[in-house]
Amino acid sequence: MGEGLARSVLGMDRGEITALVSEAGEPAYRAKQIMDAVYRQRVESLAEISTLPQEFRERLAASGVSVGAARIEKKFSSVDGTVRYLIGFGDGQSVETVWMPEGDGGEAGDGSDAGVEAESGLSTSGAEARFQIPASDAGMEGLLHPPQNRVRPGRSTICISSQVGCAVDCQFCLTALLGVKRNLTAGEIVGQVCAVLKDQQVSPPEDRINLVFMGMGEPFLNYENFIKASRLLVGGVGIAERRMTVSTAGIVPRIHDFGEEKIRPKLAISLNAPNDELRMRLMPLNKKWNLEMLMAAARDFPLRTREWITFEYVLLGGENDLPENAREVAELLRGLRCKVNLIALNPGPGIEFTTPSADRVTEFQNILRGAGIPAFVRRPRGRDIYAACGQLKRTVEVATLPELQFQAISPLAPEG
C-alpha cells in the first residue's frame, strides 16, 4: 500500500474497498468485513473492526487509511423531539443534520411505502390531527405540551446536507445567507446519516428510517457525490431508495440525468411560485432555468410504478399565498402525476417575509384539492431550535421562539 496518503473508508464503495484489500495482499472477504463494520455497525475507528487482524488494521492506519467518521460538535433538542446536529469536518467547516422522530408528513401522498405510512399517521381524529399555538402564549409556552402520537412510532426522518452553505440564494431561506463554501464528499454525506443513527441508537432496515436530501445545499449542484452517497446509503447502510427523497430548486439538466439513474431517491422540486416574474424574485435560479424549462423536465421525468413527483411550495404571507396564486399552481401542474407539499414559512433573523395565517394556508390547500391536485401541509418540526425547513444556518445560540400562531392540519382529516 502507498505510504502517507490519507484516505477515508467512509465514502468508498465495495469496489474501492475491494481494491484497498487487494492492494494490501489480504483475501477478498475482508472487503465485506470492512463494509459491514463501517456502514452497518458504524464504527468510528479501525481499532473497532474486531473482525480484521490487528496487524492488518495497523498497516492500514500506517498507510494513512482511517474510517473518516463524522464528528457531532453540538446537539440542539426541541420540545417536539426534533434534534438539530452540528456536524464538523477536518477542515473546520460544518453542516447541519436534523433528526425528526415522527417525520413531518412530507412523504404523504408520494406513492411510496413511506408515503402510505405518513398518510396513515396523518389520518388521525380531529383532536389529534390539529394543534394550536395561541398567539397569547408567550415564548415557547405553547410548545411545551404538543399532541402525542400524531404519527405511528417507529417511522423517523433524517434531513441531510449536501453542501456547506448553498449557492442557490432563495430569498426566504436562512441557509442562503451563508453562501456556499464547498461541496461535501460522498463520505461526508453518508457520515451524517451514520452519526445520527448511532446517536439515536436505531438501525435500518429493522427500524424504518426515511431520508430527505433537504438540508443545507443544492444536491444537484453536487451531483456526483450525491449520487454516490445515495448508492452507499442503499447498498451499505441499508436504507431503501423508496424511503429517500431529494429536493432540487430546479437544476434542469440534472433532473434529466437523475431520471436515468438505476438507483435513485424520489424527486421533489422546490416550486414556490406559479409564474416566472414572481419566481425570479424569490428564486434567482429561475433566470437560468425558467418555469417552462422546469415543467418540461418534470413532465419528461420517468416515474416508476406508484411514484409521484412532489412539488414543494413555501407560503410567504402576502407574496405567493393568494387564491389566484393557488389557481395558477393548479393550472401549471394540471395533468402531472404529482402532489404538492405546502410549507408555511419558518421565520428566522434576516428573513423579511412573514408566515401566513393558518386560514390562508387552508384556503390555498383547498383550492389545489378542488382542482384535483393532492395537497398536504408539512408540519413544522424544531422551529424553536432553528431546525425547520429553511432555518438551517449553523445557529449556535438558540434564542427563545417569538410568539407565533400556527395550526397544523391533517390533509386527510375533516376540516372546519
Write out the catalytic residue numbers.
Answer: 96, 389
| Number of helical H runs and strand E runs in the chain | 12, 16
Decide if 111 contacts 132 (C-beta within 8 A).
Answer: no
CA pair distance 251, 62, nearest whole angstrom: 42
- Strands 131-132, 407-408: parallel, antiparallel or unpaired by DSSP? antiparallel
Backbone angles phi and psi of 315, in degrees to 5: -85, 125
Secondary structure letter of residue 302 according to DSSP: -
Distance (Å, rounded) from C-alpha 124 to C-alpha 307? Answer: 24
CA 342-350-85 angle, to 5 degrees, is 70
Number of C-beta neighbours around residue 414 at 10 A? 8
Q: Is 26 helix (H, G, I), strand (E, B) or coil?
A: coil
Strand partners of residue 180: 165
**Cβ(271)–Cβ(285) below 8 Å:** no
Please provide residue 113's backbone torsions phi and psi, each rounded to the nearest 5 degrees: -60, -45
Distance between CA 8 and CA 226 in Å, rounded? Answer: 17
The conformation of residue 237, written as its DSSP 8-state character, comes to I
Note whether 312 and 268 are within 8 A (CB).
yes
Cα–Cα distance list, 54 to 151, 215, 349 (Å): 46, 38, 52
- DSSP states along 204-250: TTTSEEEEEE-SSS-GGGGHHHHHHHHHHIIIII---GGGEEEEES-
Integer Cα distance of 76 and 386 in angstroms? 9
CA dihedral (166, 170, 175, 179) positive or negative: positive
Determine the Cα–Cα distance for residues 222 and 270; give it in Å rounded to an integer.
17
